[in-house]
Amino acid sequence: MTTPRGLLLLAAALLALAGCGDDKAAAPPDVKHNGAAYDGMNVCTLADDEQIKAALGEGPGPKERKDTDALRACAIDASSGDFYLFLTVVKPSMAAADQVGYDKAAVEGAKDVDAKTFSFFDEGQAYVETSDGDLVLRASLIYYVDGGKITDGTGVVGRLHTLLGQMTQKV
């Protein structure tokens, strides 16, 4: 014969074994679904002039939309005319994180910035690419021929990474 106290202890033990009371570990992570924003997106509006100036290291010139069927883009000349910033957003056919992984694997010398972001730089260009929800964003700084060269690639990558972080807040 089971006593009420014995039943209570048995019920408490079963609840503890079942893990009741702490569902935080079992909850799936929040997934950002921002693919719908892509169709009407104007990449030139994802960063303000101060953010662009910080990424360029000097004042920005005019912004020019460069959208195609495959991507949304914005080109921004530096005030010196020696280089430009090229911002792109893509809605890939595969998962955004998989696209970033694929792009990274195709670049010799790519370096991880964080779990979903990589960078690359040489004397003529630097870029940072990241996945954000359903989208892939890239910020590139590119020198024109005879415009000069990148002398602090790590610093440029840091500025581009900061800019991408600011842009993802608006997507």
Does position 74 have pLDDT exceeding 70, yes or no? Answer: yes
pLDDT band at residue 6 under the 50/70/90 scheme: very low
Question: Does 27 reside within a domain?
Answer: no
Q: What is the pLDDT of residue 79?
A: 95
Question: Does 150 reside within a domain?
Answer: yes
Burial 38-64 (b: 16+ CB within 10 A, else e): eeebebbebbeeebbbebbeeebbebe
Proportion of the chain above pLDDT 70, given as a percent = 82
Question: Does 113 reside within a domain?
Answer: yes
Q: What is the pLDDT of residue 8?
A: 38
Question: Does 68 reside within a domain?
Answer: yes
- Tell which residue, 119, 140, 116, 120, has the closest CA to residue 130: 116
Question: Does 159 reside within a domain?
Answer: yes
Q: What is the pLDDT of residue 29?
A: 56
Does position 5 have pLDDT exceeding 90, yes or no? Answer: no
pLDDT band at residue 35 under the 50/70/90 scheme: confident
Q: From CA 83, how far away is CA 147, in angstroms rounded? A: 6
Q: Tens of pLDDT along 96-117?
A: 999 999 999 999 999 999 999 9
Task: Name residue 139's beta-bridge partners.
Answer: 87, 128
CA distances from 160 to 93, 98, 115, 136, 139 (A): 25, 21, 16, 14, 6
- Tell which residue, 94, 77, 75, has the closest CA to residue 86: 75
Q: Which tokens belong to 146?
A: 């005879």
Question: Does 59 reside within a domain?
Answer: yes
Read off the pTM.
Answer: 0.81
Q: What is the pLDDT of residue 148?
A: 95
Q: Tens of pLDDT along 129-166?
A: 999 999 999 999 999 999 999 999 999 999 999 999 99
User: Which CATH number does the domain housing residue 101 bear?
Assistant: 3.40.1000.70
Q: How many structural domains comprise the chain?
A: 1
Question: Does 28 reside within a domain?
Answer: no
**H-type alpha helices, the chain:** 4-18, 49-56, 96-105, 153-168
How much is the average pLDDT of 56-62? 95
What range defines the domain where residue 161 resides?
Answer: 35-168
How much is the average pLDDT of 46-75? 95
CA distances from 38 to 68, 88, 89, 93 (A): 12, 11, 8, 13
Question: Does 43 reside within a domain?
Answer: yes
Does position 14 have pLDDT exceeding 50, yes or no? Answer: no
Q: Which tokens belong to 27?
A: 């909850």
